[in-house]
């Protein structure tokens, strides 16, 4: 039995638990006294943390560790980085943008956003969080369904509304173009997202030959400069 802390410590505690478990592992979570979650909020937090098949019995939650990435979020984030969806390698290692050749971490190090390569928990300490538009891990974006994009946007709206990062940076334009604005271009989003500033930048994947590391670094630096 694992105790689920109430309040702002919940996402980090769930992310740490997720990284310790193998995919498919079952876990029983006890809700701390004073936690006033309703079931919808619990589903959101657990789905974001990479747990599914939620069942609640009194003060105990039963869930399964899914083969995906957890959200790394907290209050007062300097920047919330949102990828499209995890790769199987990222889900296995518990690290966003983990594929060889992905240039997110080199760009983030160059901007000073992070101090440690491929360490999302240390990035969280510095005010940089991570989530994904779609939680399901796939080998490519072509495997995602339209309903997954739409559901992911609504989940992300709730996430941003709760944690209110200084800005959200969407890495890769594909998901945004499929669900929000088909004509979107890189840069600041007019009107922001869920009441907070939002920035769109090109994909950091090594497959995106149109964007250099210098260009990606400039985009990240611009997103982090939100006030």
Give the mean model confidence (pLDDT) for residues 130-153. Answer: 94
Alpha-helix residue ranges (DSSP H) falling in 164-207: 174-179
| Local confidence band at 56 (pLDDT 50, 70, 90 cut-offs) | confident
Residue 10: per-residue pLDDT: 83
CATH entry, 79-224, from 3.40.50.300, 3.40.50.720, 3.40.470.10, 3.50.50.60 = 3.40.470.10
Instruction: Determine which of 55-64, 187-196, 209-218 has the lowest per-residue pLDDT on average.
Output: 55-64
- Mean pLDDT of the 141-162 span: 94
Integer Cα distance of 133 and 211 in angstroms? 21
User: Which pLDDT band, with edges at 50, 70 and 90, does 167 fall under?
Assistant: very high
Average pLDDT over residues 157-184: 94
Which residues have a Cβ under 8 Å from the Cβ of 125 and sit 6 or more positions away? none
| pLDDT at 37 (0 to 100) | 60
Neighbours of 143 (CB within 10 A): 12
Cβ(177)–Cβ(200) below 8 Å: no
Domain covering 2-65 assigned CATH 3.30.110 in the classification: yes
Write down the domain spans for the chain: 2-65, 79-224
Which uninterrupted H or E stretch holds 4?
Answer: strand 2-4
Interaxial angle between packed helices 146-163 and 39-48, expressed in degrees from 0 to 180 and rounded to the nearest 10: 110
Task: Average the pLDDT over 124-132 and give the result.
Answer: 97
């Amino acid at each position: 039995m694992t105790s689920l802390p109430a309040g702002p410590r919940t996402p980090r505690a769930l992310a740490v638990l997720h990284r310790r478990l193998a995919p498919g592992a079952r876990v029983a979570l006890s809700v701390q006294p004073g936690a006033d979650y309703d079931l919808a909020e619990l589903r959101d937090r657990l789905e974001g943390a990479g747990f599914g098949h939620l069942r609640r019995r009194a003060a105990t939650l039963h869930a399964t560790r899914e083969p995906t990435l957890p959200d790394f979020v907290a209050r007062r984030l300097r920047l919330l980085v949102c990828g499209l969806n995890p790769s199987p390698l990222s889900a296995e290692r518990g690290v966003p943008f983990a594929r060889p050749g992905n240039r997110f971490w080199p760009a983030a190090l160059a901007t000073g956003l992070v101090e440690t390569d491929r360490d999302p928990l240390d990035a969280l300490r510095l005010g940089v969080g991570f989530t994904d538009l779609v939680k399901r891990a796939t080998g490519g974006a072509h495997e995602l369904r339209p309903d997954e994009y739409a559901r992911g946007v609504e989940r992300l709206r709730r996430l941003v509304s709760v944690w209110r990062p200084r800005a959200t940076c969407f890495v890769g334009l594909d998901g945004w173009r499929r669900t929000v604005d088909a004509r979107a271009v890189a840069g600041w989003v007019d009107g922001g997202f869920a009441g907070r500033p939002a920035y769109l930048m090109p994909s950091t994947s090594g497959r995106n030959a149109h964007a250099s590391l210098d260009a990606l670094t400039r985009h990240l630096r611009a997103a982090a400069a939100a006030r």
